[in-house]
Homo-oligomer: A and B are copies of this chain.
């Protein structure tokens, strides 16, 4: 077998990169659990007809076929029984809630950290397999608005817990479907989705082109188009944002209960965020992505200084996350694109692991006959929680030290030599970075806290 080459879109990390990813996952999990989110996992597959309920994503689904299955069967239009890999964690979560509603206490808040797959065309250079970390709260019948305030703040805290390893600060951009829809309808524009689609192109094609698009595609007048652009230009992280939207609405004689409701919600979010995570949450009225399917708040998150990476954490409020006919389950949630984040951290050299292996100590082996002595030292250290490996072979000590060095292991342990009288001399431990070597007792010695486990730190 010749050396294999990586598969485009399926990222993998070397051991030191995996330590960074694992640190990120552990830190997110801890924040989610501190906030009472229960962890669940769902199977990787869903029935194809469930995955295809939203038409837009159909092109991205990987369909499964058992190798021994009749290939003609999978080509048939009849999709009953066919399985596809999930492309997000929301569809499976909605199904899980319906399937287990009798066993869950609502509002049910869960986190879910799993791989998802999208059958993107390879030449797009996008990830086809990546890890998401989602939090959602789902209610049975109703879900209070305050969760729309809390969930982005939980994510701000989770991402904030990564600051000390070198993750840049985040900015969470928020908008509210009710504000946009209320404003557009109040202006007299009924094609709300059409307006949102045009506004979504603002960053790409600029205000004048969007204005032209609004006129051409949504039947807006020049004045209505300009009003939409004025709304989209409003952003800020305090209550003044709400005032400016109200003033804009008044200047266009827009009155709308929906707009008022949306502004009240958006205002509550901005005020709570200003108190609990100052500077992190910014109301940005041009955020349009997702407003076609979210029904209230919508969130996007950028790394400050790395905005061109796009949103690394998005989400929003659904009035109907799931429904079994009898009960409707509204929900609100956000999803971190962990792979995109980690890929950026590693690719831009922002973070590093202090070593690529867990071991703090390599126990040298004096001779294969006395390997059991080295094993006993290792057991003693491990019994006190110190990660240890034993040298692969009783090579010359210089070679064993080089083995530790190549693996980034900071300490090499030398079992005491047995003298002519049969007594074993004192063990010694060497810090191979400083060269310092001293007597040590496997029952009591310990590495410093910073050397105990591999750590993840800013690379600078």
Contacts of A110 in B (CB 8 A): 15
Is B12 within 8 A of A387, CB to CB? no
Is B324 within 8 A of A34, CB to CB? no
* Alpha-carbon separation in the docked complex, A349 to B74 (Å): 40
A399 within 8 A of B: no
Contacts of A390 in B (CB 8 A): 150
Is A389 within 8 A of B36, CB to CB? yes
A171 within 8 A of B: no
A450 within 8 A of B: no
24 contacts between A and B (CB under 8 A): A1-B324, A2-B325, A3-B99, A3-B324, A4-B50, A7-B43, A11-B43, A12-B40, A18-B39, A22-B39, A34-B358, A34-B387, A35-B388, A36-B359, A36-B388, A36-B389, A44-B44, A44-B115, A64-B64, A68-B119, A71-B75, A144-B393, A147-B392, A150-B375
A42-66 at interface with B (beta carbon < 8 Å): 42-45, 47, 50, 52, 58-66
| Complex: chain B residue closest to A15, CB-CB | B38
A292 to chain B, nearest CB (A): 21
With contacts A62-B66, A325-B2, A389-B109 taken as known, whether A18 is within 8 angstroms of B41 at the C-beta atoms is yes
A253 within 8 A of B: no
Q: Which of A100-108, A189-197, A213-221, A259-267 contacts B (4 or more CB under 8 A)?
A: A100-108
Q: Which of B43, B60, B109, B323 contacts A12 (CB 8 A)?
A: B43
Q: Which of B12, B37, B43, B358 contacts A37 (CB 8 A)?
A: B358
Is A1 within 8 A of B98, CB to CB? yes
Contacts of A434 in B (CB 8 A): none
Q: Which of B22, B36, B72, B392 contacts A387 (CB 8 A)?
A: B36
Q: Which of B21, B43, B389, B392 contacts A144 (CB 8 A)?
A: B392
Contacts of A121 in B (CB 8 A): 66
Interface SS of A by simple majority: mixed
A252 within 8 A of B: no
Contacts of A115 in B (CB 8 A): 44
Name, among A42, A66, A96, A371, the residue most crowded by chain B CB atoms within 10 Å (CB to CB): A66
Contacts of A358 in B (CB 8 A): 33-34, 36-38
Is B10 within 8 A of A43, CB to CB? yes
Is B34 within 8 A of A12, CB to CB? no
* Alpha-carbon separation in the docked complex, A107 to B357 (Å): 12
Is B119 within 8 A of A67, CB to CB? yes
* Alpha-carbon separation in the docked complex, A201 to B11 (Å): 43
| Complex: chain B residue closest to A43, CB-CB | B10
User: Which residues of A are interface residues toward B (Cβ below 8 A)?
Assistant: 1-7, 10-15, 18-19, 21-22, 33-45, 47, 50, 52, 58-69, 71-72, 74-75, 83-85, 95-96, 98-101, 103-105, 107, 109-110, 115, 117, 119, 121, 129, 139, 144, 146-147, 150, 272, 275-276, 322-325, 356-359, 368, 371-372, 375, 379, 382, 385-390, 392-393, 403, 406-407, 453
With contacts A1-B98, A84-B67 taken as known, whether A117 is within 8 angstroms of B12 at the C-beta atoms is no
* Alpha-carbon separation in the docked complex, A150 to B390 (Å): 10
Is A357 within 8 A of B38, CB to CB? yes
Q: Which of B14, B66, B83, B129 contacts A45 (CB 8 A)?
A: B129
| Complex: chain B residue closest to A32, CB-CB | B358
Contacts of A67 in B (CB 8 A): 52, 58-63, 84, 119
Contacts of A14 in B (CB 8 A): 40, 100, 103-104
* Alpha-carbon separation in the docked complex, A60 to B37 (Å): 36
A20 to chain B, nearest CB (A): 11
Q: Which of B47, B63, B96, B324 contacts A64 (CB 8 A)?
A: B63
Contacts of A393 in B (CB 8 A): 144
Is B12 within 8 A of A41, CB to CB? yes
* Alpha-carbon separation in the docked complex, A275 to B372 (Å): 10
**10 closest Cβ pairs, A-B complex:** A36-B389, A71-B75, A66-B119, A36-B359, A10-B43, A33-B358, A15-B38, A105-B406, A61-B67, A34-B382
Contacts of A41 in B (CB 8 A): 12-13, 18, 21
* Alpha-carbon separation in the docked complex, A88 to B428 (Å): 42
Contacts of A98 in B (CB 8 A): 1, 3-4
